[in-house]
Amino acid sequence: MSLLLDNEFKPLPPDKCVDTEAFLEAVSHLPSFFDCLGSSVFAIIKADITGNITKIKTAYLKDPQKFVTLQDLLISEREAQADKWPLVGATLALMWLKRGLRFIQILLQSLADGERDANNPNSIRVNVVKAYEQALKRYHGWLTQKLFSMALLAAPCRSNFLKALSKGEDVGEEDCLAKVRQFLENFTPTVDAIYEMYTKLNAELSYTV
């Protein structure tokens, strides 16, 4: 499993604070997944996500003992750059990264739930559109929405997408979806916790790009 079981997210502790090092390790495997999707439009998305991860990692490595949790990082940036925060550093990078993670979560959940277009059962269009509308669309102006339309045209069919999730192996659809569900068990609470942290710290911005 390239996206999934090779790099499962850690269970969330009771205080819901996300461990920075474990989070960075888990998300570091995501960008390479885009290579198996083919089209060059995915290279733009890969570059964006890779940039976010590098920014968070660079901030973390300045003082790993101080920035044990993602919340430690945000609070430290808020203190250091009160005038510009949250439009700075790891706070901004994680704000965008979490939206990409939410997109992936909704897409995988929708596939795991068996949501399909009855007239086109081997298409993941309904699943991708649902994820886009809920996670990203409101932050995109018309040009970026056009980019999404291009990515949508280049999206693989359901069977190839599930195969890509299984590292190209020919595992059965049900086996793959069972692993998707297992992956979501820790992934979803982690993404939820990051969203809650942004709400709690009043760090969410709603500008469009």
Q: Which residues bind ligand EIS (CB under 6 A)?
A: 44-45, 48, 51-52, 55, 92-93, 96, 99-100, 103-104, 107, 128, 132, 136, 144, 147-148, 151, 155, 161, 209
Are the CB atoms for 135 and 102 separated by under 8 Å?
yes
Nearer to ligand EIS, 16 or 139 (CB): 139
Nearer to ligand EIS, 16 or 81 (CB): 81
For 189, left (φ over 0), alpha (ψ -120 to 50), or beta? alpha
Please, what is the minimum distance in Å from the beta carbon of residue 48 to ligand EIS? 4
Are the CB atoms for 56 and 97 separated by under 8 Å?
yes
Are the CB atoms for 168 and 41 separated by under 8 Å?
no
Spatial distance between the Cα atoms of 140 and 118, rounded to a whole number of angstroms: 29
Nearer to ligand EIS, 82 or 209 (CB): 209
Sequence-distant (≥ 6) Cβ neighbours of residue 178 within 8 angstroms: none
Nearer to ligand EIS, 5 or 147 (CB): 147
Please, what is the minimum distance in Å from the beta carbon of residue 49 to ligand EIS? 6
Please, what is the minimum distance in Å from the beta carbon of residue 209 to ligand EIS? 4
Nearer to ligand EIS, 118 or 209 (CB): 209
Could you tell me the sign of the dihedral formed by the alpha carbons of 196, 197, 199, 203, in that order? negative
Please, what is the minimum distance in Å from the beta carbon of residue 132 to ligand EIS? 6
Indicate the burial class of 157 (C-beta count within 10 angstroms; 0-12, 13-18, 19 or more): middle
Please, what is the minimum distance in Å from the beta carbon of residue 184 to ligand EIS? 13
